[in-house]
A and B are shown apart, each in its own frame.
Chain A
Amino acid sequence: MSQTLNAIELVGLTKYRGTQAVLRDVSFTVPRGQVVAVLGPSGAGKSTLLRCINHLETIDGGKIFVEQQLIGYREEAGVLYELADRDISLQRRGIGMVFQNFNLFRHVTVLDNVMAGPIHVLKMPRNQAEALARGLLERVGLADKAGAYPNQLSGGQQQRVAIARALAMSPAVMLLDEPTSALDPELSQEVIAAIRRLADDGITLMIATHEMALARDFADRVLFMVDGELVEDAPGKQFFSAPRHERSKQFLSRLSAH
């Protein structure tokens, strides 16, 4: 294949919180199907970066494209105007998100969680949505938990349901914000396995993580951030074997010291 289409493209993304810049002029492109790990110390802006990509956070400069579509804004004569709620919602349908704290809807069953998107957003008929949801639960190995409530599941199981819930919208891109940070190592493994299947299926993934195994084992590429700045952008293996930037080296040496 010659020129692959870009799934995500960021151009000079800048965001402030008050007077503090939390993202400074971040630019990169992610081709379709690539698995990108976003690494960096706490407060580097990894989560904010992901939350900007589906416009859960507003931006103060630059542009974000997902599947060639300008996210959250329309541009007129060099000015970005924030889109209406309805239009942003439409854009978010194609961008799945998985959260550190799972954020499953507490008041409904696992099955209803996975069906929430298809039913309430896509207005899919209930029996069709249920078939889809049961298939996805099967895929993350939780078919038997369909009738359970989120608080009856372990953290790892909850996160797998959250992945199934995001998949139910058939997103082109998935953003995973610290998907294993709230889990103990053993439970992390089952979530990592579920994420690996997403990667194998060719879904474009951006994973903000502290879990080095996740980044090292199957990220095609590492984006390393410090203080809201993209410091190093390297293929996964190269980042771990031969980091170029001083901050990357420090970060990795501190990790290996553990």
Chain B
Amino acid sequence: MNPFSSKQVAVTRRVVHRRQWGAWLFGVVVLVLLGAIVNAGVKARVLDPVIFLDYVFSRNILIGAGNSIMLGTVALLLAVAVGLVVAIMRVSGNPILVSFAATYVYLFRGTPMLIQLIFWFNAFPIMFTDLHIAIPFTDIVLVNAPMTKVITPYVAALAGLSLAEGAYMSEIIRGGFLAVDSGQRDAARSLGMTGSAVMRKVVIPQAARIIVPATGNQYIMLLKSTSLASAIGYLELLRISTDIYAANFRVVELLAVAGFWYLVMTAVATVLQTTLEKLYPHR
């Protein structure tokens, strides 16, 4: 007979882990306070749900949300292109390109986006009153228009957002480049790849694994930053909401409507980001 089995130990029925009583107590306090605030809100009728639902799927609001998504998405694509060029300049080693890139990043990352948007919309057409593009040494004129006609709120918002965002993107892309160790480049070159092949086949695909998640974050930021374009009269989500409440004084409901759609946008962008990350796993 097994000597150990004779020493009968009572069968354990369950295991009780220590509870974090302090955290639970605090959780209860939080719930009580939250309940008090919601109760106060309901009693004061801060938000009329009927009006909220009236507007949340209304035509103008949907157009505004669509404009915001378009503006943010196009601005991100331009920003990635700008950022890629600036990042390549920054790592080129050429002193002119390096200082140009560094100055660009400093100026466009160092000033508020709102100022940049207002600059492109209001100041730029004062500085350059006419846009005149012609093919040199010929009489062919491609564009000849007053700048105020060319710089619509959309163009100004797009320029402002993509150039400001381009500064952030260039730093993200540069970080991605730096994270690819020089041994990878050496190996690619030793196989006989040209400089551009090394970039396309080895450096960019590896850097992308670092750049993609950070870019997802920037996209979320940018979708929200499109609200800045309301200041220069572009009819995006916030501007349309404020225009409506300026007429009907339903400030709370319309801000809630706008907030709701921004949340939807960021949720979709987050799903997109997660999908991309899974597509390019980090190795």
Contacts and interface: CB of A to CB of B under 8 A. Distances in A.
Interface in A75-102: 85-86, 89-90, 92-93, 95-97, 99, 101
Nearest to A175: B190
B195 A85 contact: yes
Interface of A: 51, 54, 56, 85-86, 89-90, 92-93, 95-97, 99, 101, 103-108, 116-117, 120-121, 149-151, 162, 165-166, 169
B283 A121 contact: no
A32 B272 CA distance: 56
Nearest to B191: A117
Interface stretch (B18-26, B91-99, B197-205, B260-268): B197-205
Contact of A107 (B187, B189, B190, B206): B206
Given A105-B184, A105-B187, A90 B192 contact: yes
7 contacts: A56-B186, A56-B190, A89-B193, A103-B183, A107-B283, A165-B191, A166-B191
A149 B209 CA distance: 15
Interface of B: 183-184, 186-195, 197, 201-202, 205-206, 209, 283
B201 A120 contact: yes
A54 B187 CA distance: 11
Contacts of A89: 189, 192-194, 197
A95 B191 CA distance: 8
Nearest to A108: B205
Chain B interface, DSSP helix/strand/loop, else mixed: helix
Contacts of B183: 99, 101, 103
B183 to A, nearest CB: 4
B191 A106 contact: no
A116 B192 CA distance: 10
B194 A103 contact: no
A166 B191 CA distance: 7
Contacts of B283: 106-107, 149-151
A106 B184 contact: yes
Name the residue in B191, B192, B195, B209 with the highest tally of chain A Cβ atoms < 10 Å from its Cβ.
Answer: B191
A187 B250 CA distance: 74
A250 to B, nearest CB: 32
A96 B194 contact: no
A99 B186 contact: yes
Contacts of A106: 184, 206, 283
B194 A85 contact: yes
A102 to B, nearest CB: 8
Contacts of B187: 97, 99, 103-105, 162, 165
